A and B are shown apart, each in its own frame.
Chain A
Amino acid sequence: MPALTPRNVIIAAVLIALLLLPVFVAFTGKIFMLTLFTRIIILALAAVSLNLILGYGGMMSFGHAAYLGIGGYAVGILAHEGITSGFVQWPAALAASALFALVIGALSLRTRGVYFIMITLAFAQMAYYAASGLARYGGDDGLTINTRSQFAGLINLSNKTAFYYLCLLLLFGCIYLVWRLVNSRFGMVIGGVRSNEVRMRAIGFPTYRYQLACFVIAGTMCGLAGALLANATDFVSPSMMYWTRSGDLIIMVVLGGMGSLFGPLIGTIALLVLEEALSGVTEYWQIILGPLLLLIVLFARGGIDGILRSLTPKVRHG
């Protein structure tokens, strides 16, 4: 039983609110809330996967949106070719993003630090340009998906509430998976590599392989988010993997709190609700968001989760 700290109470409240959102929508009729939060949940799933490598693994990938696009395009291309079964589309999305993560990871993880940032960024841009070049699948303009993934009558993705709960379920499942991962032996090694790679190698861990495995898991998870996003918007386009999207994902993770289990979810909600609110105030909302981001980086390193944690007075033992 987790302690009743302000942080845990707030996180529990957010989770319950997410679970009850469709009820709220049913009473008030604000359908756009459901659409907005489906999008938030899906991007939170992507942020959770990024947090696994960025927050826990210390791998500063700036190309995470590529998997979002690859997962989305796997669904879009198969649907375009007439294969609408989700049992084919979704495994294909996972496999394609896992394969891409394996190749990119194997190359990028040969380097460290700034090189890693720039290389992941460049490879994601490569995926972006490759998708723009796919004339058969819409090229720059993207590809409209006419039929959402079919699951043989098990679930109807066109039902907004059902789709919302499916996304939420997958998000919770992935958060659980990340929790199990980081608390396993594997997670300990990944954390060890983040704090001191040389030492980990010295005591005999093949750090490269561990990091690569972690990178592939995160990429696959983000591919799932991509498949969901394609179904949510009925549309895929190269802009899904434009590099600013990767930047957004990093912002979500850092805003919520890196290396925190629920941080990415909270960060995603905060960023998208903030965007929604600011764009209501002025058309030029990014002129506020940019400097705000700067201030967060300069003065609030721990993100929202860090602030929540600081609400609890520290108990000193001994």
Chain B
Amino acid sequence: MTLFIEQCLNGLQFGLLLFLLAAGLTLVFGIMDLVNLAHGSLYMVGAYFAATFAAWTGSFVLGAILAFGATLLVGILVEIVVMRRLYGRDHLDHVLATFGLILFFDEAVRLIWGSEGLSLPLPGWLNTPVQILPGIQYSGYRLSIMVVTIAVAAFLYLLVMRTRIGMLIRAGAANREMVGALGVNIKLLFTLVFGLGAALAGLAGLMQAPILTVQIGMGENILILAFVVTVIGGIGSIRGAFVGALLVGFLDTLGRAFFPDLLRMVLDKNTAATAAPALSSMLIYILMAAVLVIKPQGLFAASGK
């Protein structure tokens, strides 16, 4: 039972983290109609920045804040130098150009930080387990990730639904040309949205950094999961990204933890032991396939697309 609760919390934490990535991806797609494969690179860059700045300043929190700002700047720079030239082009162009960016980022990171991974040690006050229920302890750091992510999700909701910028973002998602024709500085809006997406990816990366090793290619694996989340939730919909991220987070974590046991009840031991690792990593893709069969546009397809 303790294990089950712990795994549920892990699933929730992973899902919330995926939401940060998927939200940026889906925002950028919804408004600029841009497929950004390099989103995972920004996640990686965020993690590397956090590890470096934390080592420089000697403070985890200060390092994280600096890394967040730095990733935001990198995102804005990428938008101005590259992405701006891609709007309105074919999706294949986006895929190729951002694939080129991934190669560039991976190699640049290797050049700067070397090919060995970095680690980001947690300060003691974050590393202590917290008692959540009588007799059940849970990592304080993972809890604080959840708190931060939920706060960011709430902030995003308020930003998009309750502010003037949010109104422009939603209008931009519905009809870009019309928003531009009404005199809104669409260039600036696009730069801001891309920067926001980049900063969210960077935030996800820097928060994940102490749990995983910071290494090259870390962004690519999670990028695919973020894609699965956006496809399940419906591209362009933040609400969809939230629901999809939680679904994928839970299914992936719980599947890896308990699916082998379930399989053992149905199949004989040897078959189960061989098939379990392969099958449990396929679960989320099966979920995606199922969603596609029922709703090809995702659970919460954005309107006006």
Report which A residues bind B (CB closer than 8 A). 54, 60, 62, 107-108, 110-111, 113-115, 117-119, 121-123, 125-126, 129-136, 243-244, 247, 250-251, 254, 284-287, 289-294, 296-298, 301
Contacts and interface: CB of A to CB of B under 8 A. Distances in A.
A133 B103 contact: no
B87 to A, nearest CB: 12
B104 A243 contact: no
Contact of B104 (A60, A126, A291): A291
B257 interface: no
B282 A118 contact: no
Contacts of A110: 292-293, 296
Contacts of A122: 224, 227-228, 231, 285, 288
Interface stretch (B10-18, B138-146, B174-182, B271-279): B271-279
A294 B91 contact: no
Contact of B224 (A132, A135, A243, A294): A243
Contacts of A60: 91-92, 95
Contact of A284 (B100, B110, B298): B110
Contact of A135 (B96, B277, B285): B277
B96 A254 contact: yes
B282 A126 contact: yes
B289 interface: yes
Contact of B29 (A114, A251, A290): A114
A251 B274 contact: no
A123 B101 contact: no
Given A114-B91, A133-B277, A133-B279, A290 B107 contact: yes
B292 A62 contact: no
B111 interface: yes
A126 B282 CA distance: 6
B261 interface: no
A233 to B, nearest CB: 22
Nearest to B34: A114
Nearest to A104: B289
Nearest to B275: A133
Interface in B84-106: 85-86, 91-93, 95-97, 99-106
A294 B278 contact: no
